[in-house]
């Protein structure tokens, strides 16, 4: 899915933001990180953004058109 999102951004197509969660991250940590992102930002900030979280909860992917 992230590859599809990146391709859309490269082509200049609009898309809603995407949060990519590492499948090795503990589910509780993933939920806490997503809640933090939702609570501390506005929906419009994530337009055309792909953001990935690492196992250590630090951003390791980010792309903005």
pLDDT in tens, 11-50: 989 888 888 888 888 999 989 988 998 899 998 888 888 8
The reported pLDDT for the residue numbered 27 is 92
What range defines the domain where residue 45 resides?
A: 2-64
Buried b (16+ CB within 10 A) or exposed e, 17-26: bbbebbeebe
Buried b (16+ CB within 10 A) or exposed e, 27-43: eeebeebeeeeeeeeee
pLDDT confidence bin for 62, thresholds 50/70/90: very low
The reported pLDDT for the residue numbered 26 is 92
Total domain count, the chain: 1
The reported pLDDT for the residue numbered 53 is 63
* Other Cβ atoms within 10 Å of 60 Cβ, number: 12
């Amino acid at each position: 899915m992230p590859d599809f999102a990146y391709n859309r951004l490269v082509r200049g197509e609009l898309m809603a933001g995407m949060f990519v969660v590492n499948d090795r991250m503990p589910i509780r940590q993933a939920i806490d990180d997503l809640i933090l992102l939702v609570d501390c930002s506005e929906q419009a900030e994530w337009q055309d953004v792909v953001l990935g979280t690492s196992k250590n909860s630090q951003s390791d992917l980010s792309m903005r058109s």
